[in-house]
Structure 1
Amino acid sequence: MSIYPAIKASLKPRIGLYSVGLRAYWEQFPGLKERLEEYGRFIEHQMAAWADVYYYGLVDTEGEGRKAGDWLNERQVDLVFCHAATYSTSSTVLPVHQICKAPVVFLNLQPTARLNYEQSTTGEWLAHCGACPVPEFANVFNRAGIPFRVVNGMLGLDYTPAISLTNEVTHERREAVRAWREIEEWVRSAGVPRTLQHSRFGFLGNTYSGMLDMYSDFTMISAQTGLHVEVLEMCDLDRMLREVTAQDVKRKLGELHDMFQISGDSPSDPIAKKPTEEQLEWSCRVAAAQEKLVRAYDLDALSYYYHGAPSGEYEKLQGGFIVGHSLLTARGIPCSGEGDLKTAVAMKISDILGVGGSFSEIVVVDYIDETILLGHDGPFHIAISEGKPVLRGMGLYHGKQGTGVSVEAKVKTGAITTLNVTQTGDGKLKLISSEGESTNGPIMKIGNTQTPVKFREHPDAYMSRWFAEAPTHHCAMSIGHNASQFQKVAELMKLKHVVL
Structure 2
Amino acid sequence: MRIGQLSVYFGLFDDAMPPGFRTTRQEYAAAVGAMLADYGEVVDPGLVDSMDRAVEAAEVFAREEVDVVVFAPTMAAPPAWPEQALSGVDVPVVVLGAQESGVVPDNYDTEMATARSLPVGLVMFTNVLVRNGRPFTSAVGELGSPELAAALAQAMRAAAAVTAIRRRPLALVGQPMDGYSDVLATDDELALLGVRVEDITAPELSEAFAAVTSAQVQREAEEVGRTADAAAVPDDVLERSCRLSVALEGLCDARQLGGGAVNCHGPTLRWNPEVGITACLGVSRLSERGIPFSCTGDVPTAIALILGKAVAGSALYCELYQLDLPGNWILVANGGEGDFSGRAPGSTVRLLPEDHYRGENGPGVAVAFELPLGPATLVSLTPALGATGGWILVVAEGEVVGSRHHRMEGPNAMFRFSSAPVAKAYQRWCQAGATHHAVLLPGARHGDLGAAADLLGIQLASV
Q: TM-score, normalised by structure 2?
A: 0.86
CA distance in 1, matches of 2:129, 2:408: 56
1:340 aligned residue (293, 298, 307): 298
Q: 1:106 to 1:394 in 2, by over 3 A?
A: closer
Aligned residue identity for 1:191: A
Structure 1 220/258 Cα, relative in aligned 2: closer, same or farther at 3 Å? farther
| Counterpart check, 1:16 vs 2:5 | yes
Shift of 1:460: 0.5
Note closer, same or farther for the CA distance 1:315–1:485 as it changes in structure 2 (3 Å cut).
farther
Structure 1 residue 147 displacement after superposition: 6.2
Give 1 or 2 for the bigger CA radius of gyration.
1
Distance 1:20 1:375, change over 3 A: farther
**From 393, 397, 411, the counterpart of 1:449:** 411
Q: Is this contact kept in 2: 1:16–1:72, CA < 8 A? A: no
Matches within 5 A, 1:323-402: 323-386=281-344, 387-397=347-357
Query: Does residue 289 of the first structure (1) align with residue 247 of the second (2)?
Result: yes
Structure 1 residue 247 corresponds to structure 2 residue 209: no
Contact 2:5–2:33 (Cα < 8 Å) also in 1: no
Give the counterpart of 2:399 among 423, 434, 437: 437
Residue in structure 2 matched with residue 238 of structure 1 by the alignment: 206
- 1:396 is paired with a residue whose SS is helix
Secondary structure, aligned partner of 1:314: coil
Whether the 8 Å CA contact 1:371–1:454 is kept in 2: the answer is yes
**Residue of structure 2 equivalent to 1:304:** 262
Say what the alpha-carbon RMSD is for the aligned residues: 3.3
Listed as ranges, the matches of 1:74-223 within 5 Å are 74-86=63-75, 88-89=76-77, 92-98=78-84, 100-101=86-87, 104-114=93-103, 127-135=115-123, 150-156=138-144, 176-217=145-186, 219-223=187-191
8 Å contact from structure 1 (residues 17, 55) kept in 2: yes
State the percentage of identical aligned residues. 22
- The answer to whether the Cα contact below 8 Å between 2:94 and 2:137 also exists between their aligned partners in 1 is yes
Alpha-carbon distance, 1:345 to partner: 1.1
Measure the CA separation in 2 of the matches of 1:183 and 1:425: 32
| 1:48 CA displacement | 1.8
Match of residue 366 from structure 2 = 406
- 1:447 is aligned with what amino acid? E
Measure, in 1, the Cα distance between the counterparts of 2:360 and 2:412.
19
Contact 2:275–2:361 (8 Å) recurs in 1: no
Query: What SS is found at the alignment partner of 1:16?
Result: strand
Pairing partner for 1:496 from 453, 459, 463 = 459
SS at match of 1:353: helix
Task: Work out whether residues 264 and 278 of structure 2, in 8 Å CA contact, stay in contact via their aligned partners in 1.
Answer: no
Cα gap change, 1:286 to 1:122, in 2 (>3 Å): same
Moved more, 293-302 or 136-145: 136-145
Task: Using the TM superposition, give the Cα deviation of residue 201 of structure 1 relative to its aligned residue in structure 2, in angstroms.
Answer: 1.7
1:139 is displaced (CA, Å) by: 5.9
> 1:77–1:325: structure 2 CA closer, same or farther, 3 Å change rule?
closer
Q: Post-superposition shift, 1:476?
A: 1.8
CA-CA distance at 1:182 after TM superposition: 2.0
In 2: Cα distance, 1:18 partner to 1:152 partner: 15
Contact 1:423–1:472 (Cα < 8 Å) also in 2: no
* Unmatched tracts of structure 1, length 5 or more: 1-11, 157-175, 264-273
Distance in 2 (alpha carbons) for counterparts of 1:144 and 1:277: 59
State the match for 2:443 in structure 1: 480
Shift of 1:142: 6.0
Amino acid at match of 1:330: E
Alpha-carbon separation, structure 2, partners of 1:302 and 1:104: 25
Structure 1, 108-117 or 373-382: larger mean CA deviation: 108-117
What amino acid maps onto 2:416 in structure 1? K
Give how far 1:360 is off: 0.7
Unaligned runs of 5+ in 2: none
Q: How many residue pairs are counted as aligned between the two chains? A: 454
Q: CA deviation at 1:327?
A: 0.8
Aligned-pair CA distance for 1:441:
4.7
Counterpart Cα distance in 2 of 1:122 and 1:285: 71
**Alpha-carbon shift at residue 394 of structure 1 (Å):** 3.3
Does the CA-based 8 Å contact 2:164-2:306 persist in structure 1?
Answer: no
Partner of 2:315, secondary structure, is: strand
Q: Give the match for residue 38 of structure 1.
A: 27
Deviation at 1:341, TM superposition (A): 1.4
Deviation sequence 1:308-352 (CA, Å, 0-9, x none): 58x987268342521121111111221111111111111112223
1:257 paired with 2:225, answer yes
How big is the shift at 1:179? 1.8
For 2:140, give the aligned amino acid: N
Alignment partners' CA distance in 2, 1:426 and 1:399? 40
Alpha-carbon contact 1:337-1:378 (below 8 Å) kept:
no
Closer/same/farther in 2, CA of residues 398 and 234 from structure 1, 3 Å limit: closer
Conservation of the 8 A alpha-carbon contact between 1:84 and 1:130: yes
Distance in 1 separating the partners of 2:441 and 2:313? 5
Equivalent-residue separation in structure 2 for 1:26 and 1:480 (angstroms): 52
| CA distance in 1: counterparts of 2:128 and 2:251, whole angstroms | 51
The CA distance in 1 between the partners of 2:454 and 2:148, in whole Å, is 18
Instruction: Using the TM superposition, give the Cα deviation of residue 475 of structure 1 relative to its aligned residue in structure 2, in angstroms.
Output: 1.5
TM-score under structure 1 length normalisation:
0.80
